[in-house]
Amino acid sequence: MSTAETSRFVRLRVELVIEVDDAGDLTKAALQRIAEDGDMPQQERVHAQSAVTEDTAEALAYLVDPFDLVSEVPGIELQQASWSSEQIEYDPESPEWDLDEDDGDDGDGDGDEEDAEKAVG
């Protein structure tokens, strides 16, 4: 395919496994982020505060923003981002967690995790 025929759009997939050492600190940081969001309607704010207090995965989702990951990369403009978080069982010795293997995820979002989508622009 020549350069003129290639798409200008690129899908970047990133999978992270995070160990939460202090759920209280994580929740506190998420609540602070929610409190500082002046554009969030009050009803949504109450729901968000409840969600991050009850679930550390939700707290993490409020603190991680894909836009922040690429906002300083020259020559690109983020068109759309989606991300999810879920609590998992993790065994680093399991072949399931081999980062060199293709996990077969087709990105259809049919898993049990809660997806958050954010259109940018």
What are the tens digits of pLDDT across the range 77-104?
A: 999 988 888 888 888 888 877 766 555 5
What are the tens digits of pLDDT across the range 45-62?
A: 999 999 999 999 999 998
Q: Is the pLDDT of residue 25 over 90?
A: yes
Q: Is the pLDDT of residue 27 over 50?
A: yes
pLDDT of the residue at 14: 85
What residues form DSSP beta bridges with 85?
114
Of 91, 90, 92, 82, nearest to 113 (Cα)? 82
As to burial, measured by CB atoms within 10 angstroms (0-12 exposed, 13-18 middle, 19+ buried), residue 89 is: exposed
As to burial, measured by CB atoms within 10 angstroms (0-12 exposed, 13-18 middle, 19+ buried), residue 91 is: exposed
pTM over 0.85? The answer is: no
Residue predicted with more confidence, 2 or 75: 75
Q: Is the pLDDT of residue 117 over 50?
A: no
Q: How high does pLDDT run on average in the chain?
A: 81
